[in-house]
Amino acid sequence: MNRKMWVAAALTLAGALPFTARAEIDKKIERLWKGKCAGCHGTDGKGQTDQGKKLGIKDYTTPEWQKSQTDAHIKAAVAEGVKGMDGYKDKLAPDQIDGLVAYVRALK
């Protein structure tokens, strides 16, 4: 291999490593969402569950909903709770809550 190819290979590797680490985190967060949140919000985040309908949970996959929320607001809602939902700050680690904020953000 010439020098250029080595550089290209090194860059590919450097790029690939954080990517696999991130995919692993996302898997855990996805499990968390399915285990703790999807019962009300639905696995797809549309809120079309029995609980979701009863509690009037909104569809979080719409651009309108996404636009109406800031990351800070979502984080506070998950940590402190809102009407109809208990806060998770005693049940989840801060990085899990951050992961869930990103997960909710990615619902589209």
CB of 44 to ligand HEC, least distance (A): 13
Q: Judged by CB, which is closer to ligand HEC: 23, or 72?
A: 72
Judged by CB under 6 A, the chain residues 15 through 74 that form the site for ligand HEC are 36-37, 39-41, 51, 55-58, 74
**What number of CA atoms fall less than 13 Å from residue 32's CA on the CB side?**
21
DSSP for 6-73, please give it. Answer: HHHHHHHHHHHHHHHHHHHHHHHHHHHIIIIIHHHH-TTSS--SHHHHHHT---TTSHHHHHH--HHH
CB of 68 to ligand HEC, least distance (A): 8
User: CA 1 to CA 26: how far, in whole Å?
Assistant: 35
Judged by CB under 6 A, the chain residues 75 through 104 that form the site for ligand HEC are 77-78, 82, 84-85, 88, 100, 104
Helix (H) or strand (E) run with residue 86 in it: strand 85-86
CB of 10 to ligand HEC, least distance (A): 38
What does the binding site for ligand HEC look like in residue numbers (CB under 6 A)? 36-37, 39-41, 51, 55-58, 74, 77-78, 82, 84-85, 88, 100, 104
